[in-house]
Every structure is written in structure tokens, then in C-alpha cells.
Structure 1
Amino acid sequence: MRRLPALVLAIAFACAACTSGSEEPSRTAPEELTFASLQLDWPEAQGRLDPPALPAAPEGFDAKLLERMAKTLTAWAQQTTVDPDGWGSNDPLSELRTILPKEAAGTLEEQVRPEVSPNLAVANVFGDDVTVVGSPMVTSAWRVATEEDPADETFVRLELQTRVAYEVRLGDGDTRVIGVLRVQGLTAYPDTTDDYGTVGGWQEFGAGDCALAIDDALVPDSDPAQARKDLEAFIRIGNSSKVEMPELPVQEKVDDEYLQRCRDGQV
């Protein structure tokens, strides 16, 4: 499992990728890997995101502020995870400029620009030869907390985590499953109107390692047995009502060095 390096800019933006799949092709007969074989029975997205009830606003923060933040986060998450128009986008960030307030969109752009996989840092984007079969399955969860900035001013952080499972097919190949955990969040002070800070992170399960770094896109892992092992961890998180992003060792970062190793065929 590998993780893209975290960014710390305005507040924080950790773009993470769980890339535990092997790049070596399976030496045995292809293993079936579908929603049915994984016994996955989450709700189908059908192009829409329906998050659970919003948590109560923390003391000192107005419920209406949290509701505005939640509305923006839901639209942001829907566009980048379950909206079919976004799965093949070459510039998912530009599509968010109509959803996010101007300052938040600008901050997000600064945060993802230096990433090895800037498109995947923003949205669940698939390779050119990858077809999403049917509608993805999805669960989601909220997390709200207060923190203090360096000037000891208290701000609220509202995060929405999506856990989206896609049945996919690479070319004319067998059906596979890719899962993506994505956290998208906004931060605000009690008097904030729409000049939010942005936070976020993502991890994938069941996708090929080097495709993330080289192609900046999700492609199914060539080893279905390894993918199944990863997806079992993903499903466990998706069945939870709490936001969870697995911690991964520093040495497993997908960074510029890893990208070069992929290009040199050393992975």
C-alpha cells in the first residue's frame, strides 16, 4: 500500500493513495471480482450522493453555517465521485469552479498543482480504456471538529467522506472492482460567509500502482487476488458510520522518486 505525499498549504490537504496492488500479472486463472463476489450490498449512487444526517454544530458555531458548508461539500463530493460526467475528465478542477466559492477553488488549485497525480487529487478519474459498469455503490460519513489556528482563533472543520465502489472493465477484459475513499472538507470561522479553507485526502483500493503515478488515472490492478485483499479493508471502512483513513508508512509514498521507478520499469 502506498500513499501520495501530504500537502500543507492553507489548512491542510493530504492527497493519499492506497496502492497495494501488484504490477505483475496473475499467473493463475483470473479470479472473479465483482460486487456479487465481494458480497457488496451498499446503496447504488445513480449519479447522486445522499449523505447521512449532518452532525450538530459545535458550541460557538451557527447551525446555518454548518448547513451551508454541508451543501457545498455534498455538491463537491457528488461531482468528483458519483457523477458519470467526471469519470473521464481531463480537467476535473475546472469543473469544480462552478461549485466551490472562488477563494476555496483557488486554494484547492494551489494545493493540488504540485501533486504527482493532480487529477486524482481532485476526483475519481478513470483511464481512457476503463469503462465503469452500471452504477457505483456508495456510503458516506460526516466528521466535525473544532481546532485553533496559530493565533489561537477557533475554527470549525467539516469533512464528508465518500466510500465509492465501482465495477469496471479494462478494454474487453474481465469485470473488476475499484474502491476509493475520499475525504473533502471545509474550514470556517464563526463569521465566515463563503471564504472557506479546504482540506482533503483520498485512497484507492484495487487499482494498479503505476497507473496512478504515470497516467494520473484509475486502472484495475492486474492481480485480482491482491485487489480482493485490499478491497476487503475498503469495505470494512465503508460499512462504518465514522470517517477513517488508514495510516500508511512514509516509505510507501507515491512521490517523484516512485514515479521515476515506474517509468524505468523498476516497480
Structure 2
Amino acid sequence: MRKLLALLLAIATLSAGCSAGSDDPDPRPALSKGETISLASLGLDWPRATGTLTPPKRPATPAGFDDVDLDEMAKVLTKWATVAALDDAVWQDNDPRPAVAATLPKAAGSTLRKQVKDAVSPHLAVANVFADDVSIIGKPLVTSAWKVSKDKDGKGKSYILLELQTRTAYEVRSGDGPTRVIGVLRVHGLSAYADTTDDFGVGGGWQEYGAGDCALALDDELRPESDGADALKDLKTFTRIGDGSKLEMPELGVQEQVDDEYLKRCREGQV
């Protein structure tokens, strides 16, 4: 699993990482240990994506902020999340950054592009992008969750942070290999002062499950994990989160961060 997570008021710093799975109990029957992994074998009953994300009702507006402003933020976040996860033109785009930035107000889109410019994986920083030889089978399954919080900046001025998380499960095949599933958690966030109209702070994060390790750092793209057992262990965490109604991004260790050091280890064959 890889993580890209940071949500700040002004300019967010984005980082990346990977997971080692989870031992959390799962009420579903034990997953098959075979090489083929499908959406059906995972027992997912999530909504099938139609190209447009339909998130649940947004959280209530915190005191001191306006419903109209939060509605606008929610509208922008929904459009952003839709393109990042469900736009099939973006899945294998050579550079998804323009399409994703275009979903945001001009200043916020420019901020996002600056944030990811020097990322190890700048394309995965903004969208779910797959290798050219990876076929997406049918439409993905997706659930989503909101989170709203209120805080103060360094000068004591209150601001609001609205986040929308997508949990998207793709059934894929690399070349003529077995069917596999790649899951992606992606958080999109906008922050604003009470008097903000379109000058939003922007940030976000992502984690992948069931994808190959070094392809994310070396090639900036998603491709299935070669070890089916490891993929199943990873996907167990993903399905638990996707089944839930709350935004959750598991904590990851330093060794799981896809940063310059991780890239170096991949190049040296140490991952």
C-alpha cells in the first residue's frame, strides 16, 4: 500500500508510503488463496461506478461558517474525486495533472500542481493511474465518506477543513496474467476561512492496496502485486475501510513511505 497524505490550510505537503496489510478481524468468509482475485471473490457488494460519484450527505456545517460555502466546497470535492478515481480517460493518461487541476478553482488547481511537482510519484499523487499493459475489467466499485473539522491557524483565526474520501476497487489484468484487484483510498481536502470564496487551501492523500511495490516509485503507475497471498492480506484492510462510513487512512511506517529513499531502495533491488 502506498500513502500520500497531508491536509493543511494553505499549501499542503504531500508524502507517500506503502502498507504491510492488517490482522483486523473480518466478518466475511476467509478469502481464497488462489492466484486469481476478483471483486466477487472479495465479497464486495459496493455500488458499481457509473462515471459520476454520488457521495453520502455531507456533514453539518460547523458554527461560524456558511452552508452555501460548504455546499460549494462539497461540489468541488465531488468533481475532483470523480475525475481522480472514476474517469477512464485518466486511468492511463500520460499526465493526469491538467485534468485533475481543472476540476478545482484556478488558484487551488495551481497550488495542487505545485505541491506534486517534485513528488516521487507525481501522477499517482493526483489520480489512480495504471500501467499501459494493465486492463481494467468492467466498472470499478466505489464507496465514499466525508469528514469536516474546524481548527485555528497560527494566528488564531478559525478555518474549516472538508475532506472527501473515495474507496475504489478495480478488477484488473496485467497482460495475459491472472485477474487481480487493486484498491485505492484517496482523500481530497479543501480548507477555508469563513470569508473565503474560492481561495481554498488544498491537500490530499492516497493509499493503494494489492498493487506492486516498486512500480509506484519507478514507473509512477499501478500494476497488480505479483504475490497473490500478499495482495489478499493487503486488500483485507482496504475492504474493511471501504465497508465503513467514516473516513480512515491507516498510519504507515517510515519504511513504507514512497519518498526519495524508497525510490533509491527500489533502484537497488532492496524492496
Identify whether the pair has TM-score above 0.5, normalized to the shorter chain.
Answer: yes
1:197 corresponds to which of 194, 201, 223: 201
Whether 1:10 aligns to 2:14 is no
Matches within 5 A, 1:96-245: 96-245=100-249
Deviation at 1:171, TM superposition (A): 0.7
CA–CA distance in structure 2, aligned partners of residues 157 and 5 of structure 1: 14
What are the Cα deviations for residues 88-122 of structure 1, in whole angstroms up to 9, with x where unaligned?
Answer: 11221111233211110111111111211010000
Tell me how large the CA RMSD over aligned residues is: 1.9
Letter in 2 for 1:241: S
Amino acid at match of 1:108: L
Letter of the 1:12 counterpart: A
- The 5 Å alignment of 1:3-82 reads 3=3, 10-20=10-20, 31-82=35-86
Asked whether the equivalents of residues 19 and 208 of structure 1 are also in contact (C-alpha less than 8 Å), the reply is: no
Offset, 1:192: 0.8
Q: Which deviates the most, 66-75 or 8-17?
A: 8-17
* Alpha carbons 2:2, 2:208 under 8 Å: kept: no
TM-score by length of 1: 0.92
What is the aligned partner in structure 1 of residue 30 from structure 2?
A: none
Query: 1: distance between equivalents of 2:147 and 2:220?
Result: 28
Q: Deviations over 1:73-96 (max 9, x none)?
A: 000000010111110112211112
Letter of the 2:98 counterpart: S
Alignment coverage as a number of residue pairs: 260
State the alpha-carbon separation in 2 of the partners of residues 52 and 7 from structure 1: 21
Segments of 5+ residues of structure 2 without an aligned counterpart are 22-32
Segment drifting more, 229-238 vs 248-257: 248-257
Q: Which residue of 1 aligns with 2:268?
A: 264
Contact 1:130–1:168 under 8 Å retained in 2? yes
Cα distance in 1, alignment partners of residues 82 and 13 from structure 2 = 19
Deviation at 1:20, TM superposition (A): 3.9
After TM superposition, give the deviation of residue 251 of structure 1 in Å: 2.8
Would the alpha carbon gap of residues 97 and 88 (structure 1) be closer, same or farther in structure 2, given more than 3 Å must change?
A: same
State the TM-score, normalizing by the size of structure 2: 0.91
Q: CA deviation at 1:12?
A: 2.7
In structure 2, the CA distance between the partners of 1:156 and 1:8, relative to structure 1 (3 Å rule), is: closer
**Which letter does structure 1 place at the counterpart of 2:179?**
T
Q: What percentage of aligned pairs have identical amino acids?
A: 60
Return the alpha-carbon distance in structure 2 between the equivalents of residues 15 and 44 of structure 1: 30
